[in-house]
Structure formats: C-alpha cells, structure tokens
Amino acid sequence: MAKNNPLIVIITVFLVLSLMLSLVKAAATNVTTDQHALLALKDRIKYDPTNLLDKNWSTSTSICTWIGVTCGVHHHRVTILNISYFGLAGTLPPQLGNLSFLQVLAIGNNSFSGSLPDELFFLRNLSSLRVVDLSYNQLSGTIPSSIFQISSLERLDLTSNMFNGQIPSTISKCQQLQMLSLAYNNFTGYIPKEIGNLTMLKELYLGINELQGEIPHELGNLAKLEILTLASNTLTGTIPSTIFNLSSLRSMGFTNNSLTGNLPPEMCQYIPALQRLTMSLNQFTGRIPVNLWRCRNLQIVSLSYNQFEGSIPRDIGNLTSVNQLFLGFNNLKGTVQAFLSNINLFALFIA
C-alpha cells in the first residue's frame, strides 16, 4: 500500500469531510423541514390563477409527488424546485433556505416580488446548489452576498427583474459558473474585474443596466466565453483587445453605450466562430476591418450610428450567412453594388 501518498491522504480527508458535511446537513434537517419550507412558500403565494398549488400541494400526499418538486431517489429530500411558468405572484420565504439538498431553484416567468431573503442562500456553501433561475419576475433589492459563497453554482439567471446595487467582486468565488445573467435590471457601478476569474464562464449577459466605466481587460481571460452582451449601459473607453482573442466567441453585443476606439484590422483572425456582432449606437471610429469576411459564420452585423469611415470592404459580399447588415449613420463612402449580388440579405440598412 502506498505509504503516506499525499494524493490518497487528500482524497481520504476530502471524502471524510464530505461525509461529515452531509451528516451535519441530514441531522439538522429532515423531510419535515422540506415540507415546512414548501408550505411556507405556498403560504406566500398571493395569486395562483389555476389554484395549482392550492389543490396539488396537499399535506395528505408526499412532497415528492407535488407538482414542480423533485426528490432524491435515496434520501427523498427536495433536489429540484421548478415552478417556472406557473403564473404565480407572491414573495419568497426565508424557509426556502432550509431545502438543504436543493440543486435547482427555478421560479422563472412568474410574478414574484419583494427582495431575496438573506437566509435563502445562507448555508448553501455546504450544498450542491447548481442552478438558480429567478428570471422574468419583479424581484427587487440588492442580491444577498451569501449567494456568492455557493461554490457549486453553475447557472445564475436573474434576467429581467428590478435588482439594484453593485455587482459584488466576491462573485469570483463562484468558480463553477458557466452562465451569468444580470441583464435587464438596475445594477449600477463598474463591472468587477473579478468576473475575469470565472474561467468556466460561457455566457455573460450584463445588458440593459446602469453599468458605467470601462470594460475590464480581465474579461479577456474567459477563454470559454461564447456569448458576451453588454448592450444599453453607459460604458466608456475601448473594447480591450484581449476580447478579440476569445476564440469561442459566437456573439458580441456592445450596442448603445459610449464606447470608442477602432476595431482591430485583423479582428476575425482569432474569432472565426462569430455569428453576431452588434455595436450600433456608440462612438467607434476607424475603418471596418477588411478581413471581416474571415468571420464566415456572421449572421448579424450591426455597426450603425458610429463614426466608422472609409469604404465598405468589398469582400463583405462573401459572407453568405449574413442576413442582417446595419451600416447606416456612419461616415462610410463608396459603392455597395460590389457585394450586393452575392449577399443574401434579409435586411440591409445603409443610410
């Protein structure tokens, strides 16, 4: 037997700790705790158009048969709570924080309002919570900092609510995050450079907020990033050149900010997968990159309402996947005939 092999020691310590943590969790709470938590939620529902919970969430049946609830096969504790699209209105009770085996919390596309109770995420650092989807509700207030203690979190979707305050730099503790959407809220302040430490991130949506300042160049560390949207904020400065090296990028959205600077002449060399490039309503200058044709998968190109100058690169016509091309309200000159014959446009706006 490998004597004092450090790897084996580490693995053993890890296993023992995991076991202890799950025993602690199991001892502190049981299935009755989960039932209390769900009933507390039911109690907070002020509007339930089809009386769904009223009829279905009955104490005469096991919570594991309740609609929207999924339990673990062995421990019969709630692992998934998904009541998305139920048309419910109400608030979230702190007791939901007691669902200590929860992996997925999805309440999207309802009308939940009020702020998030601190307790909701309090003990989650001991937990396996992977998905939090609160999108398309009317939740408000700041996001509790306890959410950023959840190292297991993979998706955090807060799209379209009324959250405000700053994006905390402690977000970098959520090292497993693959999708982060804070879009369509009222977040203010700067984009924390610590987001650049979330190296698993594939999708980052921060559009339609009140974010200001420059785009941190640390975002160029997000090697797996496929979607980056920062539209409709009040961002200033240039797009960090490191971002044009993120070879997985499929969508870049910067529309409606106060961004300046040029597009790198060789920009399509390192981002060949790009499908959407939307940069309208900024103060970009310089020429449209002549090698844009190298981004063979481009479908939407929106550069209007900037100060781009020079001629429209002829080889844009070789981008046969483009179906929307917005170039109007710039200082471009020259003819467009050269490429119109090739391109299969759904919409062309060259004012």
Ligand X SMILES: *[C@@H]1O[C@H](CO)[C@@H](O)[C@H](O)[C@H]1NC(C)=O
Site string for ligand X, 278-307 (x = CB under 6 A): ---------------x--------------
* Footprint (CB under 6 A) of ligand X, residues 213-242: 218, 221, 232, 234, 241-242
- Point out which span in 5-13, 60-68, 295-303, 326-334 binds ligand X (CB under 6 A): 60-68
* Footprint (CB under 6 A) of ligand X, residues 86-145: 94-95, 97-98, 104, 106, 109, 119, 122, 125, 131, 133, 136
Q: How far is the CB of 95 from ligand X (least distance, A)?
A: 4
- Point out which span in 2-10, 42-50, 182-190, 320-328 binds ligand X (CB under 6 A): 182-190
User: Both tokens of residue 255?
Assistant: 């529309």
Task: Check residue 348 for interaction with ligand X (CB under 6 A).
Answer: no
Residue 262 burial (10 A CB sphere; 0-12, 13-18, 19+): middle
Q: No. of H helices and E strands in the chain?
A: 4, 25
- What is the C-alpha separation between 116 and 85, in angstroms, rounded? 19
Strand intervals (E) in 40-185: 45-47, 69-71, 78-82, 89-90, 104-106, 111-115, 131-133, 138-141, 155-157, 162-166, 179-181
* Nearest in space to 87 (alpha carbons), one of 142, 50, 124: 50
Instruction: Tell me the backbone φ, ψ of residue 95, rounded to 5 degrees.
Output: -60, -25
Q: How far is the CB of 123 from ligand X (least distance, A)?
A: 6
Task: Check residue 22 for interaction with ligand X (CB under 6 A).
Answer: no
Place of tokens 């998706």: 155
With a CB cutoff of 8 Å and minimum separation 6, the contacts of 47 are 87, 88, 89, 90, 111
- Point out which span in 8-16, 81-89, 222-230, 324-332 binds ligand X (CB under 6 A): 81-89
Task: Check residue 33 for interaction with ligand X (CB under 6 A).
Answer: yes
- Between 146 and 229, name the residue whose CB sits nearer to ligand X: 146
- What is the C-alpha separation between 11 and 119, in angstroms, rounded? 31
Q: Specify the pairing of strand 45-47 against strand 89-90.
A: antiparallel
- Between 207 and 251, name the residue whose CB sits nearer to ligand X: 207
Task: Check residue 67 for interaction with ligand X (CB under 6 A).
Answer: yes
Question: Kindly report the CA angle at 310 between 343 and 305, in degrees rounded to 5?
Answer: 75
Could you count the other beta carbons within 10 Å of the beta carbon of residue 28?
12
- What is the C-alpha separation between 263 and 270, in angstroms, rounded? 13
Direct distance between the N- and C-terminal alpha carbons of the chain, in angstroms, rounded to an integer:
77
- Between 113 and 221, name the residue whose CB sits nearer to ligand X: 221
User: Both tokens of residue 61?
Assistant: 């049946």
User: In this chain, which of 103, 229, 251, 256 binds ligand X, going by CB under 6 A?
Assistant: 256
- Between 56 and 262, name the residue whose CB sits nearer to ligand X: 56
Q: How far is the CB of 83 from ligand X (least distance, A)?
A: 8
Task: Check residue 186 for interaction with ligand X (CB under 6 A).
Answer: yes
User: In this chain, which of 63, 110, 112, 196 binds ligand X, going by CB under 6 A?
Assistant: 196
Residue 212 burial (10 A CB sphere; 0-12, 13-18, 19+): middle
Instruction: Tell me the backbone φ, ψ of residue 169, rounded to 5 degrees.
Output: -70, -20
Q: How far is the CB of 121 from ligand X (least distance, A)?
A: 8
Q: How far is the CB of 132 from ligand X (least distance, A)?
A: 9
List of residues contacting ligand X (CB under 6 A): 29-33, 36, 55-56, 58, 61, 65, 67, 82, 84-85, 94-95, 97-98, 104, 106, 109, 119, 122, 125, 131, 133, 136, 146, 149, 162, 172, 184-186, 196-197, 218, 221, 232, 234, 241-242, 245, 256, 270, 293, 315, 318, 342
